[in-house]
Structure 1
Amino acid sequence: MKLSTRGRYGITLMVDLAINSGDQPVSLKSIAERQNLSEHYLEQLIAPLRNAGLVKSIRGAYGGYVLAKPAQEITAGDIVRVLEGPITVVEDEPTGLRRLWDEVRDAINAVLDRTTLVDLAEMMRQGTDDGLMYYI
């Protein structure tokens, strides 16, 4: 399984919100600058995340986005499924190997579903993010 930029950047966006929002909304522009990502691309990602109830938008001069739930209640699996759809490893496979690929899919889902934004933020703080693009 390979995540597209939608899933990877979506996780990066959400971790940035978890780290930086607190009581104040965070603008997509500031996230884009910190993460060296396209603000336009982040705008495309934020809409499905908002529709799924993972983020809330705050209007106004000092508006932006905040997490809709506590960071410990949002998992990487929540984000990936919103932006990528269901996790699949192999579409069509002979019956004899189907069980193997189902187990691989289930293992991936288990890791994504037990990894919260709090866990990801801590990985980033410790420098074990291996590819997340946040600069502390």
Structure 2
Amino acid sequence: MRISTKGRYALRMMLDLALHDQGEPVRVKDIAAREDISIKYLEQIVALLVRAGYLKSIRGPQGGYRLVKTPKEYSLGSILRLTEGSLAPVESLEEDADPADNTENAATMMFWQKLNQAIKSVVDSYTLEDLMDWQMQAGDNYVI
């Protein structure tokens, strides 16, 4: 399994929004500048996050985006699944997989299931709030 730039940038963007939440909307161009990510690419990710109800769009000259929920309510797994789709290491473990297409033998399937459970346990046990804490501990403090 490999996380694409879309998933990685979505996590960075959500973290940036959480760290810069001062009660005012955050502009995409500001996030793009801080994170050194293309504005056009971020706009695509923002559209996905808004449609999913993760972000709220505020229009106007003072507009921008805000998190809909608190950082502790966003699991990193939910953000990654939204941007990446399934995180299953093999196709046969994806939610919509046809059981008839499973060509794995019992031993290898057991390994893939264990790997899938390990991935789920990690991505679903951490939240955006955990990323914020780690960012602060790293000393790269975004406090304005």
Q: Which amino acid in the other structure matches residue 66 of structure 1?
A: R
Verify the 8 A CA contact 1:10 1:45 in the aligned structure 2: yes
- Alignment partner, residue 100 of structure 2: none
Structure number with greater Rg is 2
- Alignment partner, residue 131 of structure 1: none
Q: Measure, in 1, the Cα distance between the counterparts of 2:90 and 2:54.
A: 28
Q: TM-score, normalised by structure 1?
A: 0.89
Give the Å deviation of 1:127. 1.7
- Alignment partner, residue 62 of structure 1: 62
Q: Measure, in 1, the Cα distance between the counterparts of 2:41 and 2:138.
A: 25
Q: Which moved more, 1:34-43 or 1:86-95?
A: 86-95
The yes-or-no answer on 1:74 pairing with 2:91 is no
Give the Å deviation of 1:53. 1.0
Q: Measure, in 1, the Cα distance between the counterparts of 2:62 and 2:24.
A: 8
Q: Measure, in 2, the Cα distance between the counterparts of 1:86 and 1:38.
A: 25
The yes-or-no answer on 1:95 pairing with 2:105 is yes
Verify the 8 A CA contact 1:34 1:135 in the aligned structure 2: no
- Alignment partner, residue 7 of structure 1: 7
- Alignment partner, residue 44 of structure 1: 44
- Alignment partner, residue 19 of structure 2: 19
Give the Å deviation of 1:135. 6.9
Q: Measure, in 1, the Cα distance between the counterparts of 2:117 and 2:48.
A: 24
Q: Could you list the per-position Cα deviations for residues 49-104 of structure 1 after superposition, in whole angstroms to 9, with x for gaps in the alignment?
A: 11111111011111000001111101111110110001111236622211211111
Give the Å deviation of 1:19. 0.6
The two structures, once aligned, show a CA RMSD in angstroms of: 1.7
Helix, strand or coil: the match of 1:57?
strand
The yes-or-no answer on 1:113 pairing with 2:111 is no
Task: Give structure 1 regions of 4+ aligned residues with deviation exceeding 3 angstroms.
Answer: none
Q: Measure, in 1, the Cα distance between the counterparts of 2:22 and 2:117.
A: 33
Once the two structures are aligned, what percentage of the paired residues are identical?
40
* Structure 2 unaligned spans of 5+: 93-102
Q: TM-score, normalised by structure 2?
A: 0.85
Verify the 8 A CA contact 1:81 1:87 in the aligned structure 2: yes
- Count residues with an aligned counterpart: 131
